[in-house]
């Protein structure tokens, strides 16, 4: 069975992460510690060889000395030879790096070197002794009735090595601590500007694009500060440009709204005042025509007045349609009526239209934008294109209302301006369409002519922003 233990209190892992200068200090300290460990291994290997050679040399010297002593014992009477040998051994005491043992012919030990007085009572850990100990040959010398044996002893040399290693380890530990503290302090001072950089980034993120950094003395941080200042300059310029564009859009929007309001006022005045007056004049003239059939001097002018007022009514009606185009489900009819009137005024230009708008209602602002685009586009055809044919296509596609107006004229260089054609020009209409969530494009096909393409979101259908990408 597996048990899962969860902490009682939530742990913020971000607070458990070490800072950059701490991590760098630990890495450098670990590298230095690894180097010291390698050096310690090399030192242990060299020390082991040195101890082995030292003990071997001491054993050879002790063997030569014992041989000389035994040579002198040949002149001593056999009865006192043993006492004389013991006296010499006791007088010498302990032989360097060796333990002397004297036994009789029957194997009785009559003498053993005393315990070492150098660092008496101290021993090294077994694992360390195992690292430095070596196998040494035991040397035995025989004198009549006695056997002298030298047992090599490297315990004191290994103890010296242990003390040296402990001292070096202490110094190494102090050096590592000093290295860590020095590295962390140096990096902390070198990276101290990072906190200032972070504060500057935070202020910039909150919209304080006037924030600037000093050029730091560290080359890398100096490049960062220069790059940040350049970025802040560009952001400030972009914000100023956006503010300027937004102000221009607001001015265009207000002008467009005022123009539409003026159109409505003019249309209302024409309808309420002029159209009603013309209708009254025509009615009076019609009455005169009916009553003056036997008076040609009155009948003929009255008929002329009826004809002229009829033409005036048609003209006022056309003006009203241009000033106050129908919206919603009357968009197709409005466009067809405008195209028919325009065709009458310009018979030299053929207009082919394909209006696949359908039966769904078109929003008022969307319908108004479409009518204005068609009006402005046709005006530009007459003024600039020198064309003989115009193609107009409007369709609904995947939640978008698409409009294409193309001519076979001479085309034009650059983008249309915002100068007056109808309203604020096509460039001004582009700003209005952008506010509605659409876009307006101008194209000059390879075969000549000029094409206007508009795409506006249709509120009567569902669509996703990705479709407009």
pLDDT digits (tens, 9 = 90+) for 80-123: 777 888 888 888 888 888 888 989 888 888 888 888 888 888 88
Taking residues 284-301, report their average pLDDT: 79
Helix (H) or strand (E) holding 227: helix 219-269
Hey, what long-range contacts does 352-357 have (CB within 8 A, 24 or more apart)?
352/389, 352/390, 352/391, 352/392, 353/391, 353/392, 353/393, 354/392, 354/393, 354/394, 354/395, 355/392, 355/393, 355/394, 356/393, 356/394, 356/395, 356/396, 357/331, 357/332, 357/394, 357/395, 357/396, 357/401
The reported pLDDT for the residue numbered 462 is: 47
pLDDT at 416: 52
Q: Rounded mean pLDDT of 182-205? A: 86
Confidence of residue 328 (pLDDT cuts 50, 70, 90): very low
Checking if the pLDDT of 167 tops 90, the result is yes
- pLDDT attached to residue 404: 92
**pLDDT digits 0-9 by tens, 185-195:** 888 888 888 88
Which pLDDT tens digit goes with each residue over 87-99?
888 888 888 888 8
E strand intervals along 321-429: 350-356, 389-397, 400-407
Banded pLDDT at 172 (limits 50, 70, 90): very high
Mean pLDDT along residues 233-252: 84
Check pLDDT > 80 for residue 57. yes
- Asked if 320 contacts 271 with a C-beta cutoff of 8 angstroms, the reply is yes
Beta-sheet strand order (sheet of 98-104): 109-112, 98-104, 146-152, 139-143
Residue 174 burial (CB count, 10 A): 10
Q: How far is CA 353 from the centre of its chain?
A: 50
- How many alpha carbons fall within 13 Å on the CB side of residue 194? 10
Radius of gyration of the chain (CA): 56
β pairing state of 109-112 and 98-104: antiparallel
pLDDT at 173: 94
Tens digits of residue pLDDT in 346-368: 888 888 988 888 777 777 778 88
Rounded CA separation 370/328 (Å): 11
pLDDT over 90 percentage in the chain: 14
Q: How far apart are CA 7 and CA 202, in angstroms?
A: 33
Residue 345 scores a pLDDT above 80: yes
CB atoms within 10 A of CB 88: 14
What's residue 171's pLDDT?
94
Identify the residue with better confidence: 189 or 165.
165
Mean pLDDT, the chain, integer:
81
The predicted structure's pLDDT at residue 133: 87
How far is residue 330's CA from residue 311's CA, in Å, rounded to a whole number?
A: 24
The reported pLDDT for the residue numbered 326 is 52
**Could you read off the pLDDT of 403-447 as tens digits, one per residue?**
999 998 877 654 554 444 444 566 667 777 888 888 888 888 887
Query: So what's the pLDDT on residue 104?
Result: 87
Highest mean pLDDT: which range of 41-55, 60-74, 110-124, 356-370: 41-55
pLDDT of residue 164: 93
pLDDT score of 435 = 80
pLDDT value of position 235: 87
Nearest CA to 189 among 218, 213, 226?
218
> What pLDDT was estimated at residue 379?
85
**Residue carrying structure tokens 């910039």:** 204
Q: What is the DSSP string of 210-225?
A: T------SSHHHHHHH
Q: Which residue has the higher pLDDT, 58 or 72?
A: 58
pTM of this prediction?
Answer: 0.48
The stretch 317-332 carries a mean pLDDT of 65
Predicted local distance difference test score (pLDDT) of residue 427: 66
Q: How far apart are CA 226 and CA 431, in angstroms?
A: 37
Q: What is the pLDDT of residue 418?
A: 44
Instruction: Give the pLDDT score at 220.
Output: 83
Query: pLDDT-derived band of residue 210, with 50, 70 and 90 as boundaries?
Result: confident
């Amino acid at each position: 069975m597996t048990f899962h233990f969860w902490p009682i209190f939530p742990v913020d892992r971000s607070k458990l992460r070490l800072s950059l200068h701490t991590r760098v200090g630990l890495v450098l300290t670990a590298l230095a510690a690894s180097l010291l460990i390698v050096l310690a291994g090399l030192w242990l290997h060299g020390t082991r060889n040195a101890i082995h050679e030292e003990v071997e040399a001491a054993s050879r010297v002790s063997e030569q000395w014992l041989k000389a002593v035994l040579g002198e014992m040949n002149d001593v009477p056999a009865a006192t030879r043993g006492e004389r040998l013991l006296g010499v051994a006791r007088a010498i005491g302990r032989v360097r790096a060796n333990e002397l043992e004297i036994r009789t012919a029957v194997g009785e030990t009559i003498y053993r070197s005393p315990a070492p007085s150098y660092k008496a009572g101290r021993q090294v850990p077994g694992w360390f002794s195992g690292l430095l100990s070596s196998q040494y040959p035991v040397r035995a010398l025989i004198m009549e009735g006695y056997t002298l044996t030298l047992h090599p002893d490297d315990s004191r040399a290994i103890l010296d090595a242990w003390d040296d290693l402990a001292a070096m380890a202490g110094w190494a530990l102090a050096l590592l601590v000093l290295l860590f503290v020095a590295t962390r302090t140096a990096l902390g001072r070198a990276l101290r500007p990072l906190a200032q950089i972070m504060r500057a980034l935070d202020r910039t993120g909150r919209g304080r694009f006037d924030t600037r950094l000093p050029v730091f003395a560290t080359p890398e941080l100096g490049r960062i500060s220069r790059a940040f200042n350049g970025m802040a300059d560009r952001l400030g310029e972009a914000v100023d440009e956006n503010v300027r564009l937004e102000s221009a859009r607001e001015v265009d929007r207000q002008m467009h709204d005022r123009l539409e309001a003026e159109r409505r006022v003019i249309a209302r005045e024409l309808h309420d005042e002029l159209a009603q007056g013309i209708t009254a004049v025509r009615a009076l003239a019609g009455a005169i025509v009916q009553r003056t059939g036997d008076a040609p001097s009155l009948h003929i002018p009255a008929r002329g007045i009826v004809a002229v007022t009829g033409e005036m009514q048609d003209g006022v009606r056309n003006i009203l349609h241009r000033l106050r185009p129908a919206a919603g489900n009357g968009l197709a009819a409005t466009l067809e009526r405008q195209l028919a009137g325009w065709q009458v005024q310009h018979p030299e230009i053929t207009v082919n239209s394909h209006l696949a708008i359908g039966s769904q209602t078109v929003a008022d602002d969307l319908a108004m934008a479409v009518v204005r685009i068609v009006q402005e586009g046709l005006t530009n055809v007459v003024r600039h294109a020198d064309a003989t044919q115009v193609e107009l296509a409007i369709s609904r596609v995947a939640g978008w209302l698409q409009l294409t107006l193309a001519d076979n004229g001479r085309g034009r260089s650059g983008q249309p301006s915002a100068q007056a054609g109808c309203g604020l020009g096509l460039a001004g209409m582009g700003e209005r369409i952008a506010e509605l969530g659409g876009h307006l494009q101008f194209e000059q096909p390879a075969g000549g002519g000029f094409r206007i393409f508009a795409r506006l979101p249709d509120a009567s259908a569902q669509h996703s922003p990705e479709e407009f990408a």
